[in-house]
Amino acid sequence: MPRARANRIEIEYESIGDPEDPPLLLVMGLGAQMILWPDEFCEALADRGHHVVRFDNRDAGLSTRLDPAGLPDVMGALGAVAQGRPVDAPYRLSDMAADAAGLLDALDLPSAHVVGASMGGMIAQTLAIEHPARVRTLTSIMSTTGDPSLPQARPEAMAMLLTPPPTERAAAIEHGVRLWRTIGSPGFAFDEAEVRAMAGRTFDRGPSPAGTARQLVAILASGSRRDALAAVRAPTLVIHGAADPLIPVDAGRATAAAVPGAELLEIEGMGHDLPRALWPTLVDAIAKHAARV
């Protein structure tokens, strides 16, 4: 896959569809590689008339890893947030949003429809706040404003989030199965074979536990976007699962309430993943929303 120089780092990306179609930028979540936007999901969006671009965030997959920054103190950062103290971090969500803007520059794309999932939703929101001209429409999926007063993850989901994956392939795949069983969608079938295949692909492209920790601290250091979201003028769609155990649905409701005119799509039985059975619903919602501009 190609790489682009952007914001002083190298970003691994992939384009799907006709470059003459309106661009749609997909931003993935914490520790997640761009392949967690499944190939068929991206192709379905392309079939709806979009030039789809997915990419690895910094510190994930094949993009630049900020290993010289070292391993952050995640528990110390969580404690600081709980006490209302500043969090020290090598970078913040603003830097990750600037990465996305830089990738658009490298691809000679003045703007794009921007879709983010989980941490990717936080990055997409930040992009809309800090680089408004780059965002034609915003779709924030299973994400949050960052307001610390919102309901937090269930203990079992947070425990999985904070458990470093094993460094051996077979064990890492088993860890992936446990993770997605814990945070996935209880209202839809769990496809273990598909999860195992994705976990294997992720491992083979290169896991980055230290990078995931740096991304998590970036989230914690960035604070709340609730007030800043009031300035967003890009048409906004918020999609959230009613059964999300990692970022509870109240966070999606708060996001939609924070952005003027935002639409909210709550999906019963959806957790913190993109189950295959929901792809038609999600693709249709994203495509219809993008067609507004």
Task: Give me the DSSP letters along 34-45.
Answer: GGGS-HHHHHHH
**Residues acting as catalytic residues:** 118, 244, 272
Identify whether the C-beta of residue 141 lies closer than 8 Å to the C-beta of residue 117. yes
- CA dihedral (112, 115, 116, 117) in degrees, to 10, reads -160
Tell me the H-state helices in 162-278: 169-183, 192-205, 209-222, 249-258
CA distances, 56 to each of 101, 155, 216, 229 (Å): 14, 28, 15, 25
- Token pair 């510190």 is at which residue? 59
Residues in Cβ contact with 53 at an 8 Å cutoff, skipping those fewer than 6 apart = 13, 14, 15, 16, 23, 24, 25, 26, 103, 107, 109, 112
Phi and psi for 277 in degrees, rounded to 5?
-60, -20
- Helix, strand, coil % over all residues of the chain, rounded to 5: 45, 15, 40
Please tell me whether residue 240 adopts helix, strand or coil conformation. Answer: strand
Give the Cα separation of 32 and 26 in Å (integer): 12
